[in-house]
Amino acid sequence: MNTYYYDHCASSPMPQRVIDTMSELMRLHYANPASLHQSGTEAMKLVERARAGVADRMGAKPQEVVFTSGGTESNNLAIKGLVDKTARSAKHLIVSAVEHASVYECAKQLEAGGAVDLTVVPVDSAGRVDPGDVAASIRKETVLVSVMHVNNETGTIQPIEEIGRVVRSHGHVRFHVDGVQAIGKVPFDWNGSGVDLYTGSAHKFGGPKGVGFLLVREGVELSPLLSGGRQENGMRSGTLNVPAIVAMSQALRLTTEKTEARRSAMYAMRRRLLEIVSDIPELVVNGTAAADERMERETSPHVINLSYPGMRPEVIIHMLEQEGIYVSTQSACSSKSLKPSRVLLAMGHDADRSSGSVRISFGDEHRPEDIEILGAKLRSVVAGLKLLERTKI
């Protein structure tokens, strides 16, 4: 049986070129890049070349790139590092209600420990933050606003340029954006964005797991999360993972070389899947369901979130798996939770709809014919579930 992987939001496969690069580096460049001998020096040159590559692709300066273990660490470093470095007795933090757990729970932890006063700004029914709500929430004690670029459950694109303008009008506030789901799918201009801190994670764009980066605007100071050898200009101690860092830089180059072509192809597939779903009344789309030009402004091309209200998502997922279709529910970090999606609840949906969501996320390997197969399998599974519901009655 053929299998079809539609869980790119959780993790994307590595291209063979990236696997080969990483394998070769693991074989040849095993020295610690902090070592003073020639082998260590060569390893550090590879790291700095990769840093320059990441900076070039993101429109940043090499000194603004801090390598980390991935999105969770980058988000925590941005938030906790800035809060800790800010020399104010009263500190205020703003996040949106639909942030990834590595932002939302980080903020909640700081609030519970008394380090910050926290404001959680709401979203509309499409999952978008109103920049006006951010503006109304900023105080003289505010140190940081954190709003993600693309939502990891619904694909909703946040208006970060508008929020950036709001934040820039308050010179004492910094702006952090979790860009994990945006890189390679949604355009981003580091220099014109008003963003001070931007998170990336390699395994979301064809790189290895366990490595990522945080862009830190020149002049922004962070306290490190980890104490040790003061690598990464003192912001992130720990031996640098040379093969993973170089592989990430290569994956980033490959993914950003074809962003526009990818967007066009994925939006076409998304439109077709929306057409198919519109003929399956049991399924509802969470987020923007528009198939016109509005979709490209409001939603990333690679994600569709569907609910079968009242149906447990794991039932749908396992029935699709039996048909060779791999999808997910909520974020991968929360997929084993039986609780309703916090993101969908924040969008105003009831518990039945928020508990029965399935996330489908595309990748470069998908073609229009794959969407037809996916649609047919969705129809088949829903028909089976309807029959199961009737027999229970």
Q: Spell out the long-range contacts of 297-300 with Cβ–Cβ below 8 A and sequence spacing 24 or more.
A: 297/157, 298/126, 298/128, 298/156, 298/157, 299/154, 299/155, 299/156, 299/157, 299/270, 300/150, 300/155, 300/156, 300/157, 300/181, 300/182, 300/185, 300/186
Q: Residue 350, SS3?
A: coil
Instruction: Please tell me what DSSP assigns to residue 334.
Output: G
Q: Is 333 a catalytic residue?
A: yes
Give the type of residue at 267: Y
- CB 200, CB 72: distance < 8 Å: no
Q: Residue 295, SS3?
A: helix
Helix (H) or strand (E) holding 119: strand 117-121
Selected catalytic residue, list 115, 280, 333, 385: 333
Beta strands in 253-372 (DSSP E): 284-286, 303-307, 325-326, 357-361
CA distance 284 to 83: 40
CA distance 184 to 212: 14
Q: Residue 382, SS3?
A: helix
Report, as residue numbers or ranges, the catalytic residues: 333
